[in-house]
Structure 1
C-alpha cells in the first residue's frame, strides 16, 4: 500500500515545473498528523534533494522558448530487484538523478556510479520497462529542449544489474533525434514482446507563428512514432523497427500525454 501512495504522490509532484523537493507517505498513528492523509518527509530525512530548477536569461525565457515550463518526469521501479521501489528523476536544466531505496523512506543518490550520464539536452518524460526481457527494468528518457534544429537523441539505459546502466538507444534501433515527450511500452501486435509508441513534442522545424496546413505525410519531425520489437540478427537483444507509416501514424502534432486502452473491446490495444 505504501508503494501505491508513494507512486501517486511522486507522479503528481513530478508534473510540477520546479521538480520534487519533498516525498510524502501515508500518515499513521503517532505522526501527530492523524487527521491528514499524507505526511511530508523532509529531504534531509529522505535523502532526495532533486530539484528541477529553471533559470531564465535574456536569451532563454518563455518568449524565446514557449515550452520552458513543461517540466520533467519521474519513474518509480525496483531497479535492483531487492523488493524496494527506487526513484529516477529527469531534469531539464539539471542532470537526471537516480536514487537507491535503502528502506524506511531513506534514499541514496547513486547517479555518479550508475552510468546515467549528463547531457546538454533537456530530459522530459521517462518510462521503465524490461526492454530486453532479462528480468531487470530498463529506462527510456525522452529528450528535447531549446534549439529546434539541434539534435537531442533520446536515451535508453539498459540495466546491467547492481545499479549499473549502459546507454544503448542506437544499439537497440531507436534513432529518434529528440523533441519527444513520452514513450509507452506495450505489445501492440500480440507477439509476446514489448513494442514502443513515442509521443513527439514541439520541435517544430518551421516558424511556430506561421499559419500552415498540418503535415499528414509522416515526414514531419513532429510526427509520433511506433517501434516494433524484432529479433536482432546477430545480437542477443531486440532491434526496434520504425513501423509508423505502415501503421498509419502520419499526422504531425504537439503531444502532451499518451494513454493505452482497448477502447472498442476488440482485444487490441488502442492509443489515445
Structure 2
C-alpha cells in the first residue's frame, strides 16, 4: 500500500509540474528526415543503458548523445541486417521494451502485422540479437498489440500478445530465459481482432489485469474484453458485467488515474466503422471512470 501511495503522490506532482512548462520543437536534433517516414511503434527508452533516453521508431533507432543530439544507430545495435534491410520485421506496428531476463538491460519485442513477430535480447552492451527460438516465443500470426507485465507475481516479466487475425496468447517467464505458452490455460487464446492492449491493476488487489480493445467490420467480433487476474495468471472476462464490452471499433486503450482518486480509469480510442457490407458504428471514444467499488461510468460526451 505504501508503494502505491508514493507513486500516486509523485505522479500528481509530476503532472502539475509539467503544466507549468512550455515546449519547443527540437526535431532538428535527429540526424534523419522525419517527413514521409512510416513512423509507427514509437518508444522513448534508454536502449543502451547509458542514462540517456533514446528514441525508437520502426526502421530507426536514435541514440541520444551527450550534447543532446540523436544519432541513428539501428545497424550498430542489431536492428538492421548487413545489407541494410530492417531486422525488426517486415511490417512492425508496435514495439515494447522490457528487461525480461532481469540483467539490467532492456530487451525488445516487435509486433508485426504480416510476419512472425520478433524478440530481441540485449547482450548487455547495447546491442541486440534475435531470441525467439531460445526463449520459446515463436509467433507467426499478425499482431498489433502486446505488453510486458508480471502476471503471476514472481518478479519476472511475462508477455501478452494480442492477435489480429489469429488468436491472442500469454507467455509466462520461467526464470531461465525461456517462456511457457500458457494461452490455453487462461481462457482467451481464441480471441482475435485485438488492436490495443493495456495491463494494469485496476482493482488494486495486487495483481495485473488486462484490457483488450478490438476492431472488426462486424460488431460481434469487435467486443472489448477486461480480464481480471486471479493472482496466478488465471483470467476471467468481466467486461460485460461492468459495461466495458464496447463494440465501436477499439484501436488504442490506456489506463490512467485521470481524477487523482487512487483508482485507475480507462480511456478507449475508437475508429468509426462504415462501408458496404459492414455494420456501421460511430466510433465515439470512451472515458470510463473507476468508482473504486467495482464499477465504471462512461464520462465521454
Q: Could you state the TM-score of these two structures normalised by the residue count of structure 1?
A: 0.72
Where does 1:41-52 land on structure 2 (aligned, <5 Å)? Answer: 41-43=73-75, 45-49=76-80, 50-52=87-89
Cα distance, 1:52 vs structure 2: 3.6
Give the secondary-structure state (helix, strand or coil) at the position aligned to 1:258.
Answer: strand
Question: 105, 109, 134: which one pairs with 1:88?
Answer: 109
Tell me the equivalent position of 2:65.
27
Distance in 1, Cα, partners of 2:90 & 2:120:
18
Tell me the equivalent position of 1:226.
226
- Pair 1:251 & 2:246 matched: yes
Aligned length: 215
- Pair 1:239 & 2:239 matched: no
- Pair 1:143 & 2:187 matched: no
Distance in 1, Cα, partners of 2:224 & 2:156:
27
- Pair 1:177 & 2:203 matched: no
Cα distance, 1:161 vs structure 2: 2.1
- Pair 1:125 & 2:140 matched: no
List runs of 5+ in structure 2 lacking aligned partners: 1-44, 81-86, 268-301
Question: 132, 157, 161: which one pairs with 2:171?
Answer: 157
Q: Sort the Cα spacing of 1:227 and 1:8 in 2 relative to 1 into closer, same or farther, 3 A.
A: farther
Distance in 2, Cα, partners of 1:245 & 1:42:
44
- Pair 1:53 & 2:99 matched: no
Cα distance, 1:87 vs structure 2: 0.9
Q: Sort the Cα spacing of 1:250 and 1:21 in 2 relative to 1 into closer, same or farther, 3 A.
A: closer
Q: Could you state the TM-score of these two structures normalised by the residue count of structure 2?
A: 0.65
Give the secondary-structure state (helix, strand or coil) at the position aligned to 2:184.
Answer: coil
Distance in 2, Cα, partners of 1:238 & 1:109:
27
Paired residues of 1:6 and 1:23 also in contact (CA < 8 A): no
Distance in 1, Cα, partners of 2:170 & 2:257:
27
Tell me the equivalent position of 1:197.
211
After superposition, the C-alpha distances for 1:187-211 in whole angstroms (9 at most, x for unaligned) are 111211111111112x223xxxxxx
Paired residues of 1:48 and 1:109 also in contact (CA < 8 A): no
List runs of 5+ in structure 1 lacking aligned partners: 14-19, 29-33, 55-70, 146-151, 206-214, 232-236
Tell me the equivalent position of 1:100.
121
Where does 1:252-271 land on structure 2 (aligned, <5 Å)? Answer: 252-271=247-266
Tell me the equivalent position of 1:113.
134
Higher helix proportion, which one? Answer: 2
RMSD: 2.3
After superposition, the C-alpha distances for 1:198-249 in whole angstroms (9 at most, x for unaligned) are 1112x223xxxxxxxxx6xxxx221211111125xxxxx3310110111112
